[in-house]
Amino acid sequence: MANEKLVRKMFSAIDACRFEELEELMHPEAVYERPGYQTFAGIGQIVDFYRNQRVIRDGCHAILDFVDDAGSAMSCGHFLGRKRDDSAVDIHYAEIYRFRDGRIAYRRSYFYTPAV
């Protein structure tokens, strides 16, 4: 339950653009893997991504399923929002996580969209 609460807080911080909160929720050496980007290593690169590189302007994550196994977890959900160019984003996602010292230490995102 603690891991799910941590992930929900992470999405809440991202959706509200409170990126400084990510520094409290994610491990300083956290790794984030996301399709179309190089791996983000360390909380500094992750926060920089959200502040300066992310194509999403605003929106809201909704977790629909969460499976927790102590040191790792996964979620499936839905994101609804807008890109910086004002186009709509309506997409399902899945993510996996690993935790260390009560924080998110690893995150990988998958998006449900045609690719192959």
The pLDDT averaged over each successive group of 10 residues in the chain (116 residues) is 94 96 96 96 97 95 95 97 97 97 97 83
State the Cα–Cα distance between residues 35 and 61, nearest whole angstrom. Answer: 17
Residue 6 neighbours by CB under 8 Å, 6+ apart: 25, 99, 102, 103, 104
CB atoms within 10 A of CB 113: 9
First to last CA, the chain: 36
Give the per-residue pLDDT at 115.
73
- Name the strand (E) or helix (H) holding 25: helix 22-25
